[in-house]
Chains A and B, each alone.
Chain A
């Protein structure tokens, strides 16, 4: 079945860049997503990328997709304390966005 993996923890200093990595197994993934979850809250969609794209930039966020290696990354520039949260990588196999498969989440800690 589909599997999505992420490193579980990442610590960075305020102002530095954070890079969160994700690998997935299903080559037929159509959409790949990054979600942010703050403590006790639901998930907030940060950004997404279609499988036919290599890169997407949205303000401080840059998503890189290496389809050959099935590797997705999220770079947060100028990381702030408010960026501390759990970041989930997710893939959607279906064209219509059903049945997301989530990674385990990466807990980002931003140190002052």
Chain B
């Protein structure tokens, strides 16, 4: 099946620094990738939809200047949390849709746990 990886799997950073999270589709091409965040014991909330070669579409309430998304190729999307603060600590999960696969399925990465001190 289609595999999506994320790197790093966990990261701890100081308040005020920026953190980049990578999402890669390993064995398929993904025109669209999605970024979610999940707070402890809560559901996933869609942050933004990332289309290869174009600007990401952010959900209401998500600051695009704080969460920078770049989808430079069909296999890679990055999420940069700029000037991170403790309230940004969360589990960030990406998903990708396969061009050649059935349209209704998204393949999820394993997630990145961000802790901001």
Contact = CB atoms under 8 A, between A and B. Distances in A.
B47 to A, nearest CB: 12
> DSSP class of A's interface residues: helix, strand, loop or mixed?
loop
Contacts, number: 54
Nearest to B94: A42
B43 A42 contact: no
Contacts of A48: 104-105
Interface residues of B, number: 23
Contact of B93 (A42, A92, A99, A103): A42
B37 to A, nearest CB: 12
Contacts of B103: 95-97
A40 B111 CA distance: 8
B113 A40 contact: yes
A104 B42 contact: yes
Contact of B32 (A31, A98, A100): A98
A105 B45 CA distance: 12
Contact of B111 (A31, A41, A99): A41
A55 interface: no
Given A40-B111, A40-B113, A48-B104, 8 more contacts: A42-B6, A42-B109, A43-B93, A88-B44, A99-B46, A104-B42, A105-B42, A105-B43
A98 B34 CA distance: 9
Interface string A77-93: 00000000000100010
Given A88-B43, A102-B44, A97 B108 contact: no
Given A42-B93, A99-B46, A104-B42, A92 B104 contact: yes
Given A41-B110, A43-B93, A97 B43 contact: no
A35 B38 CA distance: 14
